[in-house]
Chain A
Amino acid sequence: MEGIKDKVAIIGMGCIKFGENWEQTIDDMIIDAVYEAYDDAGIGPDDIQAAWWGSVWAGETAQIAATPLKLGYIPFTHVENACATGSEALRGACYAVASGVVDIALAVGAEKLKDTGFMGLPQVRPIATWSYRVSSDTPPAEFAMMATGYFAKHGLSVEEGKKLLAQIAVKNHHNGSLNPKAHFQREITLEMVMNAPIVAYPLGLFDCCGVSDGAAAAIVTRADMAKKFRSDPIYIKAMTICQGPREGFLSQNYDFAHVEETKRAAVAAYKEAGIRNPREEMSCAEVHDCFTITELTIYEDMQFSNPGQARDDIQAGTFTLNGKLPINTDGGLKCFGHPVGASGLRMMYEVYKQLQGKADKRQVKNPRLGLTHNQGGAPGTATVSVVIAGNDLG
């Protein structure tokens, strides 16, 4: 097994402003993100040899993106992997290039969620696998149970636990306030988080990410060709995706205080990239903070914090913009927003800009390696993508 390390480079990316983009159609968003990526790479639509389209709710087949983009009669694949869909699109493009079948591939993800007219994510009814006799819960509830589980496992009162989580929300809102493309660009206080209405107890409004419209895109090529396009390509060091067998809901072994798929995806990705101490070696990370509790458990599952010690790192400010390992420098799902099919690519957009030194007010110092952690599904039954990228070969 050769793996993907240093075989693929990202040479162009685009990401529109996420938010309540009332005036934009999904076509507008796809076009704006992809043409920003073309301009960034210095290429045009005719250079794309294969494309991957990621969306959960936009509709069937890749015609949703092919129609506005008009790439011609090339392979265009629609992928869906819940909230990890954007990373799945990127994986398709990277695998195509790594295999040598094509030299230049496009990944684009988008979602138009604000047209539903209701709060939260839409619900779908698959034909073959749907059971009508199931519990009634929404994504916030699925993650709230991990908050309850984590608090119980570590002996935190709900008050203590919520205060801990609130610091993550405050951090990500601060980062989002520095980002003109973020959905939410307002600083918040601990008091605001603690006093916010409950969405799914114990999680309040500010513990939950934004449901947004948005689109993001990446253009990838062979690593050995990358410098023909630009002087500062970003290289893929590892790319894993891990799907669990719903073990958390079938077996009493699961503790509802971590995400097993994140742990395993991290181990695999670090191994492929040759990273021994991620806390020391990573320059920045964009992680799936769909809810504050998710980010907290990611600290431990991704080995940024020792098991059970995320609390100490949160208190110490380890993951703030000026901390040892800045996390979600662009505001994360929490503030940048979460148009599901675009999020994985949005994460990579920030890592890409950071590694190129183009992250403006949010720029981390001496960046070398960054990662994205993109999760679909819920604690107990997740699909987790981890992609590690670096600004140098080797």
Chain B
Amino acid sequence: MVGITSYGAYIPLYRLNRAEIGRAWEMPAAPGERAVANYDEDSLTMAVEAARDCLKGIKLDSVDGLFFASTTSPYKDKQTAATIAMVLGINRESVTMDFSGSLRCGTNALRAAVDAVRSGSANNILVIASEMRLGYPAGANEISFGDGAAAVLVGNEAVIAEVEGSYSIYEELQDFWRSDKDLFVRSAEDRFIVDEGYNKVIPAAVSGALKKFNLTSKDFSTCVLYVPSQRQVGTLVKKLGFDPKTQSKDMLFSNAGDVGSAMPMMSLVQTLEEATAGNRIILVAYGNGCDVFSLKIADDIEKAKVKDRMGISRFIASKKMLGNYNRYLRWRELVTVQPPARPPIEFRLPGPQALWKENEKELRLRGTKCKNCGTPQYPPQRVCVNCRAKDNFEYYSFLDKKAKVFSFCHDHLMATIDPPVTVAVLDFEGGGRMLVDMTDRDPAECKVGMPVDLTFRKLYYVGGIYNYWWKCRPAR
């Protein structure tokens, strides 16, 4: 049996009320709110979050593949899947691939993973879809879009949702696109997309799929259908022969936004969180064609509902409102603000050699633990800070340890996109101390002793290099 063996998700802490965007541009208020990734987040960092959520309770060394899907990968020419694999610490002999190019790249990656496992070329592939797309300021996409990520593990043991079948068609249609010279997503006229895109492609795909699966709409407990339009979902679900009331999922449009290629998997994760054994789910994803999957929930579904998994439901509930739209513009660097009176960022241009040398230590937060006195230390120390024993240590990961703030401050002098920089000294359960930035925080809420999570973030971008490291955030 091949299928999904674990799942996880990530939705950024911050939400922007759509009415606030309307207020800023003197446009009618749209309902709901959209998730806004912080200035130090991107599709890569959100993918790491979703992957870590998915890998809770999973033996890391069982993973032998990592597929990353996004149309907003930080690099055009450099593999994001390899970076994520390095950060997570999965086996070196894993197959890593980036998928991109359309709204369908998330389900493209899912299908590729299912086929790979089915063929026996891999056993456990982590599939992550993550998006942080930009709509033109004052445009409809900016209002409807949202940021987020989801991850599923595809394997053939302890399957929680068997992928019974998959079916795809393609369609050459200029509906949504972003060229290599574009910053913002462009789209064609709505009516054209509805008539020639959604209304033709999706019914064709679903009817073809049902025929291939030898199933009817009545055989499914839930239809997870992604089209980049909240309004069209209900119409299409009905048109396809499903009952919008009982068989359709709320697609996160009103609380996270249209998360593009990550949306089908995010909605699937949300469905899995509530699924029970025996349920059958049809997953339909639109984008230059259409991918359709039939999934059957297995008995092991209950085992996957681990206590510390955030999933979609808990991430939706864990939020802070972004008070004003200007902050969004600032975070996305869509306005030029007065530069800080500090040395230019270029002085921090990372040497690729220096970054590479420290990958194990820094990307995985690998410190040392003295074998003589047991003191954990970061960064790794060859001579123990406590007992001075030399070269008598074992490597020690701080990533899975709980941490609390020992001291902190808010630095208004440090140059940053969104001042102040909050810096914290963390004390780890079991020993060890670390100095890191704190993100996703309300300065007024920071306290000595507060519990924090570690979160992988972008420190800064300079000279064509995105420099990533760990920060902490108030526990979500």
Whether chain B is bound by chain A comes out as yes
A118 touches B467 (CB 8 A): no
Query: Which A residues are in CB contact (< 8 Å) with B379?
Result: 131
- Which one of A134, A136, A246, A251 lies within 8 Å of B386 (CB-CB)? A251
Q: Are A148 and B448 in contact (CB under 8 A)?
A: yes
| Residue ID in chain A nearest B344 by CB atoms | A118
Given contacts A145-B425, A148-B448, A252-B431, contact A130 B411 (CB under 8 A): no
Are A141 and B423 in touch, CB under 8 angstroms? yes
State whether A202 touches B421 (Cβ < 8 A): no
* Contact residues, B369-417 vs A (CB, 8 A): 375, 377-379, 381, 385-386, 406-414, 416
B98 interface contact, C-beta 8 A: no
B362 within 8 A of A: yes
Check B74 for interface membership: any CB of A closer than 8 A.
no
- Interface of chain B, helix or strand or loop or mixed? mixed
CB pair A152–B469 under 8 Å, yes or no, is: no
Question: Contact at A123–B354, with CB atoms within 8 Å?
Answer: no
* Residue B101 CB within 8 A of the other chain: no
Instruction: With A250-B385, A252-B433, A256-B425 as known contacts, state yes or no: A145 contacts B413, CB within 8 Å.
Output: no
Residues in A lying within 8 Å of B, measured CB to CB: 116-120, 122-123, 125, 130-138, 140-141, 144-149, 152, 197-203, 245-247, 249-252, 254, 256, 380
CB–CB A135/B341 < 8 A:
no
Q: When the two chains form the complex, which single residue of A122, A125, A137, A146 contacts B411, counting CB atoms closer than 8 Å?
A: A137
B377 contacts across to A, CB distance below 8 A: 250-251
Given A133-B362, A135-B436, A201-B420: A252 and B427 interface contact (C-beta under 8 Å): yes
Measured in the bound complex, the distance between the Cα atoms of B343 and A118 in whole Å is 7
Residue in B410, B432, B435, B467 whose CB lies within 8 Å of A200:
B410
Q: For the complex, is B303 an interface residue (Cβ under 8 Å from A)?
A: no
CA distance A202 to B170 in the complex (A): 59
Beyond contacts A145-B425, A200-B411: 7 other A-B pairs, Cβ-Cβ < 8 A, are A118-B340, A132-B355, A138-B411, A148-B407, A201-B410, A201-B420, A256-B425
Instruction: List 26 A-B pairs, Cβ < 8 Å.
Output: A118-B341, A120-B342, A132-B354, A133-B459, A133-B468, A134-B469, A136-B416, A136-B421, A136-B423, A136-B437, A137-B414, A137-B435, A141-B411, A144-B409, A144-B411, A145-B407, A145-B408, A145-B423, A149-B407, A201-B409, A201-B420, A201-B443, A247-B385, A252-B432, A254-B433, A256-B407
- Among the stretches B23-31, B144-152, B319-327, B345-353, the one at the interface with A is B345-353
- Please, how many angstroms separate the alpha-carbon atoms of A209 and B460 in the complex? 29
B433 touches A250 (CB 8 A): yes
The winner among A137, A246, A254 for most chain B CB atoms within 10 A is A137
Residues on the A chain within 8 Å of B386, using CB:
251
Determine which of B408, B413, B433 lies in contact with A249 in the assembled complex, contact meaning CB atoms within 8 Å.
B433
Residue ranges of B at the interface with A (Cβ–Cβ < 8 Å): 340-343, 347-348, 350-351, 354-355, 358, 362-363, 375, 377-379, 381, 385-386, 406-414, 416, 420-421, 423, 425, 427, 431-437, 443, 448, 459-460, 467-470
| Residues A135 and B410 in contact, CB atoms below 8 Å apart | no
A137: which B residues are within 8 A, CB to CB? 409, 411, 414, 421, 423, 435, 437
- The answer to whether A123 and B433 have CB atoms under 8 Å apart is no
Assembly CA distance A117 to B351 (angstroms): 26
The A interface is mostly helix, strand or loop, or mixed, namely: loop
- Cα–Cα, bound, A221→B350 (Å): 47
Are B448 and A132 in contact (CB-based, < 8 A)? no
A131 to B425, CA, bound (A): 18
Q: Which residues of A contact B341 (CB under 8 A)?
A: 117-119
Q: Which residue of A lies closest to B352 (CB)?
A: A132
Q: Output the nearest chain B residue to A130 by Cβ-Cβ distance.
A: B354
CB neighbours of A251 from chain B (8 A): 375, 377, 385-386, 433
Cα of A19 to Cα of B410 in the assembled complex, Å: 27
| A138–B413 touching, CB < 8 Å | yes
**Across-interface contacts of B416 in A (CB, < 8 A):** 136
- The residue among B377, B379, B427 with the most chain A CB atoms within 10 A of its own CB is B379
A201 to B421, CA, bound (A): 10
When chains A and B are docked, how far (Å) is the Cα of A147 from the Cα of B343?
Answer: 26
Interface core residue of B351, B406, B432 (most chain A CB under 10 Å): B406
Residue with the highest number of chain A CB atoms closer than 10 Å, among B381, B435, B436: B435
The 6 closest A-B pairs by CB, nearest first: A144-B409, A133-B469, A141-B411, A201-B410, A132-B350, A133-B362
Q: A133-B362, A252-B433 are known contacts. Are A141 and B375 too (CB-CB below 8 A)?
A: no
Expressed in whole angstroms, the Cα–Cα distance for A327 and B448 within the complex equals 31
Roughly how many angstroms separate A293 CA and B61 CA in the complex, as a whole number?
A: 49
Chain A proximity of B98: nearest CB distance (Å)? 23
Q: Which chain A positions have C-beta within 8 A of B421?
A: 136-137, 141
A197 to B412, CA, bound (A): 10
Instruction: Write the chain A residue with the least CB distance to B363.
Output: A133
Which residues on the B side are within 8 Å of A199 (C-beta)?
A: 412-413
A118-B343, A133-B358, A140-B411 in contact; A149/B406 too (CB < 8 A)? yes
B362, B375, B408, B469: the one contacting A148 at CB < 8 Å is B408
A146–B407 contact, CB under 8 A?
A: yes
Contact A131 B375 (CB under 8 A): no
Cα–Cα, bound, A250→B363 (Å):
18
Output the least CB separation between A363 and chain B (Å): 36
Closest to A147 in B: B409
Least Cβ–Cβ distance between B248 and chain A, in angstroms = 45
Task: Decide if B407 touches A152 in the complex (CB within 8 Å).
Answer: yes
A313 to chain B, nearest CB (A): 24
A355, B379: Cα distance in complex, Å: 46
Q: Closest residue to A251 on the B side, CB-wise?
A: B385
- Which chain A residues border B413 with CB–CB below 8 Å? 119-120, 138, 140-141, 199-200
Residue numbers in B under 8 Å from A119 (CB-CB): 341-342, 413
- Also in contact, A131 and B354, with CB within 8 A (given A118-B342, A200-B409): yes
- Write out the residue numbers on chain B whose beta carbons fall within 8 Å of the beta carbon of A134: 435, 469
